Structure 1
Amino acid sequence: MGKLNTTADAVLVSRYINGCEASLATLIDRYQQRIYNFIFSKVLDRDLTEDIFQDTFIKVIRNLKHRKYNEEGKFLPWVMRIAHNLIIDHFRQSNRMPKFDGKGDFNIFSVLEDEHLNAEKQMVKSQIENDVRKLIDELPEDQREVLLMRIYKDMSFKEIANKTDVSINTALGRMRYALINLRKVIDKNNIVLTN
């Protein structure tokens, strides 16, 4: 069974490289929950998880388009490694490096949780949640629509692409721009989302 899945991933990657958008949608659909959960378990922040998740798939798309994928069908570990590197970049920028344990494909490293910090983050997040909803209303309609579907309706990118009648790349791009614009508005209003 494992071999069948590996073959399926390799075939889907190959089809996407050759122009079949739906193949990428299938791959994202297949693994998005595991990748999302992996990122969230390291950064413990939903907004940041969304951001890194978008960056991961934008990098995946870019690498596939430039034919920089040669993992012989090991698609998920490859994507996890991209996500892992983006998480490390985030921690480097915020001067809070995670601890490594180096075990397994998906448990590439673990961040030691600080329960006090986590509780504080939750408190700050709940305080500003209403403000963030107001800020989202300032986004262009197409970006707002994708953001709301993804974060508040928990829809997959495949569902969003179908519902909005655009390609998976466009849906990912809109989400990316929505997050960039949201961060600009947040910075402009001096709102602190995380410590």
Structure 2
Amino acid sequence: MKELQSLNDTNLVLAFQNGNLKALDVLIERYKDKLYSSIYFLVKDEWIADDIYQDTFIRIIDTLRFHRYNEQGKFLPWAARIAHNLCIDFFRKQKRKPPIVTSDQGEVRDIFDAIDSQVDNAEQKMMQQQSFGLMYQMLDLLPNDQREVIVLRHFADLSFKEIAVMTNCSINTALGRMRYGLINLRKIMTENSVVL
């Protein structure tokens, strides 16, 4: 298993396609948090996110098993695109538009850096949960296109080029949505005296 963990995504895919089921376990473990987070921030419901997350990996497994995967070296963006499309399908069924979020690496500070992901004790864990709760509420106040880009950039860790392809817009548009989304989040935080 340790030697599998040192393999890149392409080699893990090939190993799985050649019958090594442990290679799939490594891929799932490698990207489960990023994929689940991006799904959850789009649908905002734990149960729905769980279902879409499972459906995502069922589609991934089926595609790999039947040798239809051809995204050499781009496993995460490909998997995130599957998850994103499943979220859109869910919203179409619900007759609602999916929220989309982005982030900017320019002058605007990424407010997600303020939330520490390492928790040492119960008090810190509770404070972190409250911070994430506030973040969810503030993200809900953003326009859908800004929210989508922030989620895809920060939580799915996609590049702006990948986000642009996924959301059917130019890279500059994705960057602009991220910038305005972070500016709007800062305004919301200031107006509500929120400190993370």
Q: Given the two structures, how large is their TM-score scaled by the length of structure 1?
A: 0.50
